Amino acid sequence: MLNHYFIRPTTVDRIRSSWIGEAIERYVIWLEAKSYAKRNVFVRVPILLRFGQFAHDAGAKRWEELPAHVDSFVQAWLGRHGREYSELQRQVAARGIRNPIQQLLRLVLPPENGPCLPDPFADSVPGFFEFLRQERGLRDATLVQYRHYLQRFQAYLRQVEQPLLPDLQLSVISAFITKSGETVDKRSVQSLCSIFKVFFRYLFRMGFMKRDLGKAIESPRRYSFSNLPRSITWSEVERMLQKVDRRSAVGKRDYAILLLLVTYGLRSREVGTLMLDDVDWKHDRLHIRGRKAGHSTAYPLATPVGEALLDYLQHGRPQTKERAVFIGAFAPYPPLRPGAVSQRAKWYLRKSGIKVPRPGSHTLRHTCVQRLVDSGFSLKTIGDFIGHRTPDATKIYAKVNIEALREVALGDGEEVL
């Protein structure tokens, strides 16, 4: 199989001579079976070769020992090649390095070996994630947040050469929280602080630490209704939609996604999990199942939305056995993830030159709600329409009349007043 991609016999010999050469060749076969483009092989194989050599130099002798060296390899690679990168560029580069390694490990390691990448602090603090599952009953989506922040904290401790146990200084925790606040919003910092409180309370409870550092962690305050909705005007929505190139398959898909977001105020997760069976063409109905509020909603299928969906399904959607409506544009053509849905909305907002705090799919959700408020619908009706859990979630839209305030700001405001 390697001969199909690499012309020089010496290159093939070098790959096969690696102690993980067999695993790499199996991975290349898997890439071809999943219809990955050839360029993926040329980019990923050198990364895997370097990772194999790195792990071997660090003492790894069996494939089962490889997962323990993933994070250190990524950090070492960034140290050599990413010195001039911004924080965002480093995150993107890290994903590009880590993804092929994780795919390789999932392919060659049997399931009984457990997850390819250990939970953060699994060696020093065993049982924490089991505690979250069993005692606290947290969902997998919440555990993802715990892993994300604790993995970043684990990497930070390695960077500053500070051990977690037995007595981590509170100043180190404060420095990490402050640094995180430079790249994320206040809500995310609050989540980080909440996770830290649970984590350090567990360390104290289990006797790993002599004092409960969680008590000294203070979350930034956020006040109810302190922020304005992140809506945009309808003329800006039209400008954004005009930026979509509907001649391409990706453009057909993105146009349908944007219409769903702004017409029904759907969340990115609700768009990402939309199935072919959820579109009832016979009765012109759109079913949104498993909403955040724990119920399902059936909408009339608006003509522009139906036409955009039909155009994508007939002329843009890749041939796949997946039942999800929206599919990734590249092999192996997986269902589009909620994060990707939000990123596409963000990309078109920026392409249109629309300035809005934290652009993304929720910008269009806010726009849908604000349009309903301006049309005179009751907050109860609006909350039911967009799937709010409680009326309090809808109250913020009654705080101000965005369009009226714009008129006051741009003119003398006499007609409005």
Residue 397 designated active-site: yes
Q: DSSP of 216-251, one letter per residue? A: G--PPP--TT-S------HHHHHHHHHTS-TTSHHH
Q: Helix or strand or coil: residue 14?
A: helix
CA distance 102 to 96: 11
Q: Which of 149, 312, 348, 397 is catalytic?
A: 397
Q: What is the DSSP string of 254-298?
A: HHHHHHHHHHH---HHHHHT-BGGGEETTTTEEEE-S-TTS--EE
The answer to whether the CB of 23 falls within 8 A of the CB of 104 is: yes
Residue 290 CB-density burial (10 A; 0-12 exposed, 13-18 middle, 19+ buried): exposed
Task: Tell me whether residue 267 is one of the annotated catalytic residues.
Answer: yes
Bridge partners of residue 275, in order along the sequence: 324
Of the residues 69, 246, 344, 362, which is catalytic?
Answer: 362
Could you say which of 252, 253, 267, 317 is catalytic? 267
Task: Determine the Cα–Cα distance for residues 316 and 329; give it in Å rounded to an integer.
Answer: 9
Neighbours of 142 (CB within 10 A): 14
Separation between Cα atoms, residue 336 and residue 272, nearest integer Å:
6
Q: Any catalytic annotation for residue 283?
A: no
Contact 50, 65 (CB under 8 A): no
406, 232 Cβ separation under 8 angstroms: no
Q: Which of 69, 246, 269, 365 is catalytic?
A: 365
Q: What one-letter code names the amino acid at 306?
A: G
388 annotated active-site: yes
Residue 299 three-state SS: strand
User: Tokens representing 43?
Assistant: 């980019």
- Among this protein's residues, is 56 annotated catalytic? no
Asked about 187 being catalytic, the answer comes back as: no
Q: How far apart are CA 134 and CA 145, in angstroms?
A: 17
In angstroms, rounded to a whole number, what is the distance separating the alpha carbons of residues 231 and 358?
11
CA dihedral 340, 346, 350, 356 (to 10 degrees): -170
**DSSP code of residue 115:** -
In angstroms, the CA 311 to CA 254 distance is 11
CB atoms near residue 121 (< 10 Å) = 20
Identified catalytic residue from 222, 292, 295, 358: 292
Q: Which two tokens stand for residue 262?
A: 């702004």
**What residue has token string 């008129």?**
407
Q: How many CB atoms lie within 10 A of CB 341?
A: 27
Active-site residue, from 252, 253, 371, 388:
388
Q: Which residues are catalytic?
A: 267, 292, 362, 365, 388, 397
